[in-house]
Structure 1
Amino acid sequence: MTLGRTAVVLGGSTAGLCAAGALAPYFDQVVVLERDELPAAAEHRRGVPQSKHPHFLLNSGRRAIGALFPGFEDELIAAGGLHLMPSLDAAYLDGEGWSARKRGAMTMIYGSRILIERVLRDAVRVLPNTTIREGVSVHGLTTRDGAVTGVGLSTSAGEEHLEADLVVDAMGRGSSVSGWLVAAGWPEPEVRTLDAKVTYTSRWYELPSPAERPASWWWQHLVIMPTPDKGEHPAEHEFLVNFFPIEGNRVIACMGSWGIDMPRTTEAFVESARRVRTPLFAAAMDRCSPTSEVHLTRSTGNKWRRYDRLSTPGLVFVGDSICAFNPFYAQGISSAAMSALLLREHLSRAQRLDAEFYTRFLVAQRKSLTVPWSLAMARDQGYECAVGTEKVPEWWRRVLAAMSGPAFSLIVGAAREYEVVDEHFAKVFNMDESLGEMMRNPRVIAALVRYRIRTALGRQRIPFGFDPQAEPPATDYSPDGAAATVAAR
């Protein structure tokens, strides 16, 4: 049974493609409208400038996309995506030094944003009732009796009106839909914001062949967290740094910060890399061949348009068009995919697209978005440079700033020692569980207390804090690994 003749998706990026997969079983035809001309291969395009930076595909998003497009994960890996276990395959510098290497509860698929989109486009293009129309500019909504009934658009052939039983806004942070609704008589939606002045800059590199890599390169991913040191140090010690592996024997070297000017030129990028708090980052870059210029992004604020407080029959929202996050927390793609899957679940239970359908979906979506939003707020509200409606009083900001770093280090440390903390922290990181749910778990609390006591007594089972000026240790400290040194790949 279909719920209507035509569904229209505004935007052909990851959010729009996931929405198309959700809609296809329930409408005679699904039309995706995209402003860009889409490449056949995994290539950058104007409409997705952030594709030049690292993108994590969290497990929650990976499962949601897999539910919408069965076989997606296999296709992504076949196209070059890397299935890794971060705790074993990544060198992680946190606190005073390198963390121990061990097996953990979390695995991830690494790949570029352009590869993820290409695999998704291929999956959408084989849907028999779905069309991607490229080179289309949408310039407004059509409405009737308080409901959205279609869109106005323009192509090289001229102006056009497209009737729709359902419109999905997947146009991202810069979506004009809220303005179109106001022009059509709806009230302006409440917008919650918090901009912690995050800026990040990236450059792409080709790795040396496996035979040419140093014997010490057991790792495939480098992560360098900001220093906890409150004394004098270079600004680069405050950077969050990634040497992020992607398909095609390539990496993305990325440096980001909260409220600090970032390098914009290749020369400044290389100079800054030499001042981060471990020499390994710059040394790794030196062994690689650069394949791009430096790419910088500053549009990183958290922004939640509260459409759940409006009545917009005929219109729903997925991705950054409704809730955009600080990209440091890697929530965007996964949150969009989860909203699309939630939409499909509500469509599967609907008899018709009435007011009750939209109310139920928006309420459920609000609950889903609360989890990643709360995680973003928990960190970004602690920064003095943050501005927006969610900025907290100075006394509370100071409390958050003082507590968030030590609390994070406590959880990460306990996850090294206790499987229950590792499992639940992986769920929180992957948006499968809220931080509040984790911290209400008695077994987690007991493990955190035990870890704090053992740390005070110097009785940790797994060492940590290895010298950041030295190479990260290759030893596998997994409980059943007998601290065996693993040969470099």
Structure 2
Amino acid sequence: MEKREHAVVIGAGIAGLAAAAALAGHFERVTVLERDALPADPAFRPGVPQSRHLHSLMGAGQRALDELLPGFTDRLYEAGAVPLRTPYDHLWLSPAGWCHRFAPSHTVPSATRELFEHVVRNSVAEIGGVSLRDRTETVGLAGDAERVTGVRVRGRDDDRAEVISAGLVVDASGRRSGGRRWLRELGLGEPEAERVDSRPGYGSRLYAMPDDFADEWRIISIQPGEGQPLRGGALVPVEGGRWLVSLYGYLDDHPPVDEAGFLEFARSLRHPVLYDVVRDAVPAGPVHGFRHMANERYRYEELPAWPEGLLLVGDAVCAVNPVYAQGMSMAAMTAVLLRRLLGEGAGCRATQKEIAAGNERAWQVATGADLAYLGDTGDDAARDAGEYMRRLMELALVDAEVNRTFFDVMMMLTEPDALSSPELAARVAQGPARPPAGRAR
């Protein structure tokens, strides 16, 4: 298929960069526009306010980025990312109890969000025909209700306005996307919005890993459950010989951002192991809080009309609670889908529908969990499903084969239907041969 001339991507986060990699095979030129100044090294920037908190790249997301950017995983490890073997390296207290230490079933990289984005950005910048333009704010779309022909931008340094023409515009500008306003300006109406907010909040801090640290685990995860239903936390190794500790709470029960309050919150978790590790550790930075974590999506695919030349991806369409660590993987998987659909010659309306369908699984996982905190157990079918998942979790903690299937689904490598197969359902009905492991080390 002959390449088209020019595409524009709004936003240089993971979603925008992955989309640019997908577009590069179909357009002679791809321009990525970013409102922030893009740092030369891994660093925080205002457009990614959640970046200081724990991020995970699921197996399917890692696979997608390696497909879009060959060698990505190797580059990430070369930059300092730490391999985590699931569930072998995990000291995991789930809502149903401690997980047995099974042999590794998956290995994924652990790093700060800043390093993930840095490696992706540098990889994308090396693709022929792709250029990144920072400190440039997109203020509107060019074109009409039938076809978008480019974007209107303004330089943040000189306030200079211009129109950049493009055969395709991809809005990947996140939760702050102007997409709804821009569509209204074109006369296309307002998409239906959905929001599920369990009012969660993060508090995170980096610590120096002690030089003499040696233990059988690499990651600690303490989830809410019996005795402490609203609070959880995790400790993971990241680049630079550091631990990243993220604490979280629901229903406005948020971790404080002062040192004493942060440690006291850690001490209040269901088990003291995380607190015992960090209470004497040397901080490598301040505590950072983050509160804007509601699940939000906009049903653009249901609008009566849709212009050619425009797509929305990532958090601009569907943003889920980051506690469930699906965002980066969703973005990468959407980009792989986008590349395939462009190759098939799909129109923008059909592609937007496919993007929405691809987000559905992550939306159901995140909102299903959050609705439980809001006391919304749904109808009898939903309650039965919840009870089934509770029993399945108990089995996954002590049965290696079920644990493998569970993590295949959590890593987004296998469809959720695998958890309700007839064979697995029969094993769940029988129950574990012994109660969940009482692991605490």
TM-score range, shorter chain: over 0.9
The aligned residue for residue 184 of structure 1 is 186
Pick one of 419, 423, 433 that aligns with 1:443.
Answer: 423
Q: Where do 1:24-63 residues align within 5 Å?
A: 24-63=24-63
Aligned to 1:284, what secondary structure does the other structure show? helix
Q: Is the 8 A contact 2:112 2:238 kept in 1?
A: yes
CA shift, 1:94, in A, is 2.5
Note if contact 2:235-2:243 (Cα within 8 Å) is conserved in structure 1. yes
Aligned-pair CA distance for 1:196? 1.2
Which letter maps to 2:409?
V
Aligned to 2:244: 252
Return the alpha-carbon distance in structure 2 between the equivalents of residues 176 and 121 of structure 1.
Answer: 23
Shift of 1:266: 1.9
Whole-angstrom CA distance in 2 between matches of 1:449 and 1:417: 15
Partner of 1:412: 393
Match of 1:46, SS state, is: coil
1:261-280, CA deviations, whole angstroms, 9 ceiling, x for partnerless residues?
A: 32132221122222222222
Q: Check 1:12–1:49 CA distance in 2 against 1; reply closer, same or farther (3 A cut).
A: same
Answering whether residue 212 of structure 2 is matched by residue 205 of structure 1, we say: no
Q: Aligned letter for 1:227? A: G
1:162-217: per-residue Cα shift (whole Å, max 9, x none)? 011000000001111111110121110111221111111111111111xx22x5x2
Counterpart of 1:307 in structure 2 is 300
- Asked if 1:381 corresponds to 2:383, the answer is no
Q: How many residues align?
A: 436
How does 1:307-456 map onto structure 2 within 5 Å? 307-310=300-303, 311-350=306-345, 357-384=347-374, 396=378, 404=386, 407-435=388-416, 437-450=417-430, 452=431, 455=432
Q: Which residue in 2 is equivalent to 1:485?
A: none
CA distance, structure 2, for counterparts of residue 186 and residue 93 of structure 1: 48
- For 2:313 and 2:19, locate their aligned partners in 1 and report how far apart those are by CA, in whole Å: 7
Give the structure 2 partner of residue 194 of structure 1. 196
Partners of 1:120 and 1:399 in 2: how far apart?
A: 42
Identity of aligned residues (%): 33
Summarize the alignment of residues 153-172 of structure 1 with structure 2, pairs less than 5 Å apart.
153-155=153-155, 156-157=157-158, 158-172=160-174
Aligned-pair CA distance for 1:2: 3.7
The corresponding residue for 1:482 is none
Q: TM-score, normalised by structure 2?
A: 0.93
AA in 1 matched with 2:168: L
Task: Give the aligned partner of residue 118 of structure 1.
Answer: 118
Q: CA deviation at 1:403?
A: 6.7
Contact 1:383 1:397 in 2 (8 A): no
Q: Report the residue type matching 1:203 in the other structure.
A: R
For residues 31-67 of structure 1, give each alpha carbon's deviation from its aligned partner in whole angstroms, at most 9, with x where no partner exists: 0001111111111112111110000100111111111
Contact 2:98 2:397 in 1 (8 A): no
Give the AA of the match of 1:286. Answer: R
SS in 1 for 2:120: helix
| Structure 1: gaps spanning 5 or more residues | 230-235, 351-355, 386-393, 473-489
Cα distance between partner residues in 2 of 1:36 and 1:145:
29
CA RMSD for the aligned pairs? 2.2
Conserved 8 A contact 1:2-1:28: no
Matches of residues 266-305 of structure 1 in structure 2 within 5 Å? 266-305=259-298
Report the equivalent of 1:103. 103
Q: Bigger CA drift: 167-176 or 92-101? A: 92-101
Aligned pair partner of 1:224 in 222, 235, 258 = 222
- CA displacement at 1:413 relative to structure 2: 2.9
Greater displacement, 6-15 / 135-144? 135-144
Check 1:420–1:150 CA distance in 2 against 1; reply closer, same or farther (3 A cut).
same
How big is each residue's C-alpha offset from its partner over 1:327-360, in whole Å with a ceiling of 9 and x where there is no partner? 111111111111111010111222xxxxx52233
Tell me how far apart the structure 2 counterparts of residues 161 and 415 of structure 1 sit (CA, whole Å): 55
Give the CA deviation at 1:395.
6.4
Residues 201 and 256 in structure 1, CA contact (< 8 A), matched pair in contact too = yes
Conserved 8 A contact 1:378-1:400: no
Q: Deviations over 1:123-157 (max 9, x none)?
A: 01111201100110111111136211111111134
Asked if the contact 2:99/2:398 (under 8 Å) is kept, the reply is no
Shift of 1:419: 4.4
Letter of the 1:427 partner, please give it. D
State the one-letter code of the partner of 1:208.
P
Deviations 1:51-105 (CA, angstroms, capped at 9, x unpaired): 1000010011111111100100111111111222131111111347533211143
Contact in 2 for aligned 1:383/1:401 (Cα 8 Å)? no
The CA deviation at 1:439 is 3.9
Give, in whole Å, the separation in 2 of the partners of 1:426 and 1:82.
Answer: 19
The answer on whether the counterparts of 1:17 and 1:120 sit within 8 Å (CA) in structure 2 is yes
Q: For residues 436-477 of structure 1, give each alpha carbon's deviation from its aligned partner in whole angstroms, at most 9, with x where no partner exists.
A: x12441121122123x1xx4xxx43x86023xxxx42xxxxx
SS at match of 1:56: coil
Secondary structure of the residue that 1:248 maps to in structure 2? coil
When normalised by structure 1's length, the TM-score is 0.84
5+ residue gaps, structure 2, are none
Contact 2:145 2:186 in 1 (8 A): no
The residue identity in structure 2 corresponding to 1:282 is Y
Contact 1:266–1:294 under 8 Å retained in 2? yes
Paired AA for residue 225 in structure 2: T
1:16 is displaced (CA, Å) by 0.6
* Structure 1 residues 135 and 227: alpha-carbon distance in aligned structure 2, compared to 1, 3 A threshold: same
Shift of 1:4: 2.0
Residues 271 and 438 (structure 1), Cα distance of their counterparts in 2 relative to 1, 3 Å cut = same
2-side partners of 1:433 and 1:96: how far apart? 22
How far apart, CA to CA, are the structure 1 residues paired with 2:392 and 2:141? 47
Aligned mates of 1:99, 1:424 — CA distance in 2: 14
Could you tell me how far 1:288 is from its partner in structure 2? 1.9
SS in 2 for 1:37: coil
Closer, same or farther: CA 146–334 of 1 in aligned 2, 3 Å: same
Q: Distance in 1 between matches of 2:268 and 2:316?
A: 37
- 1:365 maps to a residue whose letter is I
